[in-house]
Amino acid sequence: MDDTSDFLFADELPDTVSTEKDAFLEQVPWKVLVVDDEEEVHSVTRLVLSDYHFGGRPLEIISAYSAQEARQVLKQHPDTAVALVDVVMETDHAGLELVKSIREELTNTRIRVVLRTGQPGQAPEETVISDYDINDYKDKTELTATKLRTLMYSTLRSFRDITALEASRRGLEQVILSSAHIFEITSLQRFASAVLLQLTSLLNLSENAAYFRVSSGFAVTRESNGYHVLAGTGNYEPMIDTHSQPTDLPDGVFQALELATQERCNQYFDDHMVAYFQTRSGQEHLLFISNAGRLNDLDRQLIEIFCANVAIAFENTHLKDELEQTQQETVYMLGEAIESRSRETGNHVKRVAEISHLLALKAGLSTETADTIKLASPLHDLGKVGIPDAILNKPERHTEKEWEVMQRHVGIGYEMLRTSNRPVLRTAAIIAQQHHEHWDGGGYPNGLKQEEIHIAGRITAIADVFDALSSDRCYKPAWKLDDVLSLFHEERGKQFDPNLVDLMMDHIDDILFIRDRYQDNQQPTLVPTPPTS
C-alpha cells in the first residue's frame, strides 16, 4: 500500500467506546406507566420506586390520568415495560377497556399489564384475569411498598425475557433474509461486499445500535504474504482491491486477523470482531468489523448461524468466480490472438471489455447484462481469422474488392459463435455481427439502424472505435484525445447511438482511467480508485 495507509484508520473510535456503551446502557431506564385518576397514587408510586434498579437500570415513571391519555402515551412510548392500570377512572370499566386497546388496537403484546383497583367488587379478580390479557391483578389496599417493589421484579424480568425472545426471532429472520440475499450473488467481490453489509446489519440488532454502532470494516482473502482486500466500508473503503502487507495494518487489526487465522474460527473483542471462512480448496476469507461493540450471547449465536451459511456460499461463489476468471482469460487470450494476427499487440481487447462494461452500467443495464457484454466484447473481431493476411494487414487503402472481403469478418465471426447456447457466446455472436452497423443505417452487413441494432453491438462499437483511434496501429499513430472526441461529436446520431455518445463524454475520465490502467505491452497495474462520475 501507499501513503494512504496513514489515514485509513484515522477516524476509528477510541478504545473507550465499550466503556461508554456500557455506561450508557446502564442509564437507559425501564419505562413504567402509571394510569390512575388519583394524584396521590402517582406520588406514592414514585416515592416507593424512586431508588429502584433492575439489571443495573433505573426506572422512568410516566403518568397518565385517564385511559384516553394512556393510549396516547403508549403510542409515543411503545417500549414501555410495565403499565400499572386503575380499573375505575373516567368510567367504571375504563381500565379494562384500556387493556383491550393495548392488546388489540396497539397490538402491544410485550408490555406487562397490572390492574390495580380500590373497588374489588366492581371487577371481580377471577373474571378479569379470565377475560382480559393481563399479567396480574392487585387490590390497592394490599399493595404495600415491599410488594410493589417485588411486583416490579417479576414484571420487568418477564418483559426482559419476552424482549430477548423477540430479538432472537427478529435476528433469525434477518439471518435467513441476509443468507438468501447473498446466495443470489455470483461475483466474489460483490459477494464479499454483501456479506460485509449483512453482517454489519446483524450487529445492529440492539435497540441502541444506532447510537453506538457506526461500524466499518473490510473483507479479505488470505495470501501467502498478506491479504487481498475484496470489499470495504467506511474508513476501509479506500483499501478495496489492494494487496495489504502485515505492516500496512495497525497492530490490533493485523493481530486480530492472525488470531482468527490461527484458531480458524470467529474472534470477538471489546470493540471489533473478525469472521473467518475457509473453502474446501483451503482458501481463507476474513471479515474485519470495527466498532462492533461488546456482543452478547444472542448476537454471537446469530453471527455463528449466519457465518455457517456464508461459509457454504463462499465455497460455491469462489468456485464460480474461478470458472468465470478462467473463461474471461480464455476470451482475452483468443481476442489477443486475433489482434496479434492483425499485427496489433497490447491490451486492446481488455480496454474494449472494460469500457463496454462501464458504458453498459451507465446506460442502466443490469450488472449481469453488463458482465455478459464485458466477457463477450473481446470477441468482436473473431471473424478476422478468416481474412487473408494480405488484406488484413495491408497498410494502404483497400480496393473496393478487398473491402468487400474485409467486411466478411462480421459474418464469419457470427457463424462461428451463433450455434452456442452459452449467454456469453450468444452475445458475442451478436456483437461480432452488429458492431459495424451505424445508428443512421449506413453500416454493414445488414444496414440496421437505431434500436434495430442490439445495445451490446452499439456499446462495443463505441468502445472499439474509441480505443482504436486512441492507440497506435500498424497503419496510424494514436490520435490526440481532442481529435477523438471531435469525431464522436461529428458522428453522434450518425455512426453512433447519441445517448451512448453522451454517456461516453460524461464519463470520459473513467474511460481514460481504463486506458491508462491497461496500457499496451504491460500487465494491468494496481492504481488508485478511478474518479467517480
Task: List pLDDT tens digits, range 15-65.
Answer: 333 344 444 445 689 999 999 999 999 999 999 999 999 988 899 999 999
Q: What is the pLDDT of residue 335?
A: 63
Task: List pLDDT tens digits, range 165-178.
Answer: 776 666 556 555 55
Same domain, 290 and 405: no
Which residue did the predictor score with more confidence, 179 or 253? 253
Q: How many domains does the chain have?
A: 3
Same domain, 480 and 365: yes
Mean pLDDT, residues 139-147 taken together: 83
CA distance 156 to 32: 9
Q: What is the pLDDT of residue 6?
A: 29
- Is residue 476 part of the annotated active site? The answer reads no
460: nearest Cα among 384, 348, 341: 348
Which residue did the predictor score with more confidence, 378 or 217? 378
Same domain, 65 and 157: yes
From 384, 394, 476, 494, active-site residue:
384
Do 108 and 77 contact (CB within 8 A), yes or no? no
Bridge partners of 53?
58
Given a cut of 70, whether residue 316 has pLDDT beyond it is no
Same domain, 371 and 295: no
Q: What is the pLDDT of residue 320?
A: 64
Q: Is 479 exposed, middle or buried (0-12, 13-18, 19+ CB in 10 A)?
A: middle
Residues 6+ apart with CB under 8 A from 11: 234, 235
Residue 246 lies in a domain: yes
Q: What is the pLDDT of residue 179?
A: 54
Given a cut of 90, whether residue 233 has pLDDT beyond it is no
Residue 138 lies in a domain: yes
Q: Which domain holds residue 214?
A: 184-314
Least confident range from 89-98, 189-198, 380-389, 419-428: namely 189-198
Same domain, 347 and 286: no
Same domain, 360 and 492: yes
Which residue did the predictor score with more confidence, 350 or 491? 491
CB atoms within 10 A of CB 125: 13
DSSP 378: G
Same domain, 510 and 371: yes
Residue 170 lies in a domain: no
Given a cut of 60, whether residue 154 has pLDDT beyond it is yes
Q: What is the pLDDT of residue 324?
A: 63
Same domain, 131 and 241: no
Q: For the chain, count helices (H), then strands (E).
A: 20, 12
Q: What is the pLDDT of residue 32?
A: 95
DSSP 64: E
- The residue out of 133, 165, 197 marking a domain boundary is 165
Mean pLDDT, residues 486-499 taken together: 95
Task: List pLDDT tens digits, range 4-21.
Answer: 222 222 233 333 333 444
CATH code assigned at 73: 3.40.50.2300
Amino acid at residue number 334: L
Cα distances from 186 to residues 121, 283, 289, in angstroms, run: 69, 17, 23
CA distance 227 to 254: 10
Do 332 and 350 contact (CB within 8 A), yes or no? yes
Residue 522 lies in a domain: no
Same domain, 28 and 151: yes
Q: What is the mean pLDDT of the chain?
A: 78
CATH code assigned at 411: 1.10.3210.10
Q: What is the pLDDT of residue 167?
A: 67
Given a cut of 50, whether residue 530 has pLDDT beyond it is no
- The residue out of 115, 132, 165 marking a domain boundary is 165
Given a cut of 60, whether residue 277 has pLDDT beyond it is yes
Task: List pLDDT tens digits, range 359-414.
Answer: 999 999 998 899 899 988 888 888 888 878 788 777 778 888 988 888 888 888 88
Residue 13 — φ and ψ, nearest 5°?
-70, 150
Q: What is the pLDDT of residue 23?
A: 46
Same domain, 119 and 230: no
Task: List pLDDT tens digits, range 118-133.
Answer: 775 566 666 777 788 8
Same domain, 458 and 505: yes
Residues 6+ apart with CB under 8 A from 400: none
Residue 314 — φ and ψ, nearest 5°?
-60, -45
Residue 25 lies in a domain: yes
Cα distances from 179 to residues 183, 306, 314, in angstroms, run: 6, 7, 11
Least confident range from 45-59, 82-96, 202-216, 455-469: namely 202-216
Do 61 and 45 contact (CB within 8 A), yes or no? yes
CA distance 385 to 337: 9
Same domain, 353 and 491: yes
Residue 175 lies in a domain: no
Mean pLDDT, residues 207-225 taken together: 57
Question: Going edge to edge, which strands form the sheet with 112-117?
Answer: 53-54, 57-64, 30-35, 82-86, 112-117, 136-139
331: nearest Cα among 384, 369, 393, 380: 380
